[in-house]
Amino acid sequence: MSLANPQRAASRVWLPLVFAVGAILLGTLFGFGMPAYIVFVSTSVLIAMVSLLGLGIVTGTAGMIALCQLSFASIGAWILEFLYLKTPLPTVFGAASFLVFMVIAGLITAVLGLVIGLPALRLRGVNLAVITLGVAAAVDTTVQQLGFPDQSTAHIPRPFGLSSDPNGDRGYFLFAVVITVVVALAIYALQGSRIGAAWKSVAFSERGTASAGTSVRTAKLSAFALSAFVGGIAGCLIVGQITQVNYLTFTPINSLGLYVLSIVVGSQLIDMALFGGILFVVIPEILKQFRVPLEWSSVAFGVLGIQALTSNSNLGTGVRAALFRRRRLREAARVEAAGDVAAVETVAEAPIPTGTGRPLLIVDHLTVEFGAVKALTDVSLVVEEGTILGLIGPNGAGKSTFVDAIGGFLPQHTGTASLDGEPLRGLAPHQRARAGLRRTFQQDRVPPSMTVGAYLRFVTRGKADPAAIADALQFFGCPDASIPLSVVDVGTRRLVEVAANLAARPKLLLLDEPAAGLSHDEHLAFANRLRRAPEHFGTTILIIEHDLDLVRSVCSRITVLNFGEVLASGDRATVLSDPKVVSAYMGETEML
């Protein structure tokens, strides 16, 4: 297993390159072997692929609805034409002009994409969809009124002096193949990188993303910018193919069609975006052969879209599920086995960690108000380095509010908090995470679109090497790094979350009910591991937990919150025998 992994990792690096070279070879054969018309139409397939790849970043990977992908294409096309016709630059760059201008156009479009993405920082879901649709309509009329620089008179020269005749079409097809392959490779690489993980994470949970030390703003804006960049490139490719464009190529209705197609195929998956490109062009082409009006293709896309959305599936995941069914079963079996290990494995009972005695987190007079409601009043506590502090209290006592406030999610609080002597005031959640203050969530905030290993790499911000990741996973009896999180059950996902955050080796980790969803046996195993965690990972822990047995077995000190105030604080035995604490808990038990 340990030997097989590096080999597999190595083959994963080379495999896309092999595919890329294969695709270019195939493209060459196709471009110079097929009839001219087929080659010309196939160039449209490639352009549709590039558009879908760009759209896949925002809608598929980062989970935002964007209905203006072709607006980006039209902006890119406009800039390319402008550079060709209204500036002296073509004489400077000569035969490479097209390529250079394409990159410039892409970059300027990316900046505009960034601006259009700005509202996404506060507006989500449908509100964002409406704004992107409004932008699409506005770009449409603006471009219509301005007109493209070619003004239907000039023709834009193709790259490297390619002509407009069938031979030029073949050459241009090859050019488009190379660009498509480069774009696909780049997006593939990005999706596997930290920024790609940030997109997937932000699509699932913004709070989870910030707590992993990644800026939500950067993640969202980079998705928009890159999507716009690729959209701009697609627009330039259209100009090169037709050598002349107008606003009708980029109407908002076509953007809608592209979006629906993106949903149908699941265009965040590279292969499916490529497949979608084929559908986008081939369905109308087939209709054309049968003399059916081309609008029927949009009808077909509409029906497919409704089908995909109502069945909550898409062609991409469907095809993959069918192809990888056996692998999934195998993976599921491995998860099962790992779960058994987690429950059964016994290690010598570790003692409750006692710490160094140095104060790590100092919270002073923390008060949080939601309007007239005081969620926390004058809470002060100290967490000593190397210990596990238990934060307990009945429902609604303000425990999670405390974690939110310390984690940076409630900047409006009063009072102070400092970590390792550094004041936390003014730091955003992702900055606190980077400063060594991590937290986990009561809710499931582990994005199912990643593998276990990718998630750990993301949360540790690339600091943990494969050995450290394997170590952290093994420490908590989590599934293997190559397992997709989508096949892992919710309880185990919470363990993976804990393992990931510990692998990031923060100074302090706030755990919000980490053991909810685990069986009793698993609870015991978890408690044993947690006791060893401060020493193993060099991390101090604050744990919120309802299960008093767990708290009693891991914490040296306990703080009890009730109605937002500290009811008792001190060492374990004293606090748990405090009559006030007992009555607070009894009250809750009676209510239950």
Contacting other proteins within 169-198 (CB under 8 A) = 169
List 19, 85, 107, 144, residue binding other proteins (CB under 8 A): 144
Rounded Cα gap, residues 240 and 539, in angstroms: 57
User: Which residue's CB is nearer to other proteins, number 248 or number 573?
Assistant: 248
CA angle 324, 478, 504 (to 5 degrees): 110
d(CA 124, CA 117): 11
CA–CA distance, 132 with 117 (Å, rounded to integer): 9
CB of 36 to other proteins, least distance (A): 6
Burial classification of residue 446, based on how many CB atoms lie within 10 Å of its CB (0-12 exposed, 13-18 middle, 19 or more buried)? buried
Cβ proximity to other proteins: between 298 and 486 the closer is 298
Q: Which of 3, 4, 35, 372 binds other proteins (CB under 8 A)?
A: 35
Binding mask 274-313 for other proteins (x = CB under 8 A): --------------x--x-xxxxxxx-xxx-xx--xxxx-
Q: How far is the CB of 589 from other proteins (least distance, A)?
A: 25
The answer to whether residue 448 forms part of the interface with other proteins (CB under 8 A) is no
Measure the CA–CA gap between 164 and 42, rounded to whole angstroms: 16
Pick between residue 35 and residue 421 the one whose CB is nearest to other proteins. Answer: 35
Stretch that binds other proteins, among 248-256, 374-382, 388-396, 488-496 (CB under 8 A): 248-256
461-500: which residues touch other proteins (CB under 8 A)? Answer: none
Nearer to other proteins, 291 or 326 (CB): 291
Phi, psi of 449 (to 5 degrees): -80, 0
The residue (of 124 and 461) whose beta carbon lies closer to other proteins is: 124
Range 44-63, binding other proteins (CB under 8 A): 44
Read off φ and ψ for residue 361, nearest 5 degrees: -110, 125
Binding string, 390-419, against other proteins, x = CB under 8 A?
----------x---x----x----------
Binding other proteins (rule: CB under 8 A), the pick from 6, 94, 134, 161 is 134
Q: Give yes or no for a contact between 342 and 477, defined as CB atoms under 8 angstroms apart.
A: yes
Q: List the 565-571 sheet strands across, edge first.
A: 437-439, 508-512, 540-544, 388-392, 557-562, 565-571
Q: How many residues bind other proteins (CB under 8 A)?
A: 80
For residue 206, state whether it binds other proteins (rule: CB under 8 A).
yes
Q: Confirm or reject binding of residue 135 to other proteins (CB under 8 A).
A: yes
Rounded to an integer, what distance in angstroms lies between the CA atom of residue 524 and that of residue 536?
Answer: 18
The residues near 22 (Cβ < 8 Å, ≥ 6 apart) are none
Residue closer to other proteins (CB basis): 53 or 120: 120
Tell me which residue has tokens 């879209």.
305
For residues 90 to 129, the per-residue mask of contacts with other proteins, x marking binding by CB under 8 A and - elsewhere, is -----------------------------x--xxxxxx-x
For the four alpha carbons of 41, 46, 47 and 51, in that order, the dihedral sign comes to: positive
215 binds other proteins (CB under 8 A): no
CA distance 200 to 204: 7
Residue 267 in contact with other proteins, rule: CB under 8 A: no
* Separation of alpha carbons 587 and 584, rounded Å: 5
| CB-CB contact of 51 with 229 (8 Å) | no
* Of residues 33 and 134, the one with the C-beta less far from other proteins: 134
- Site stretch for other proteins (CB under 8 A), options 49-57, 95-103, 245-253, 533-541: 245-253
Which x/- pattern, by CB under 8 A, does the window 348-387 give for other proteins?
A: ----------------------------------------
For 290-396, list the strands marked E by DSSP.
Answer: 359-370, 373-384, 388-392
- Comparing CB distances to other proteins, the nearer of 175 and 475 is 175
Residue 249 interacts with other proteins (CB under 8 A)?
Answer: yes
Question: Rounded to 5 degrees, what are φ and ψ at 93?
Answer: -95, -10
| Smallest separation, CB 134 to other proteins (Å) | 4
How many Cα atoms occupy the beta-carbon half-sphere of 222 within 13 Å?
18
Residue 30 makes contact with other proteins by CB under 8 A: no
Tokens of 430: 């992702």
* Per-residue x/- track, 63-82, other proteins (CB under 8 A): --x-x---------------
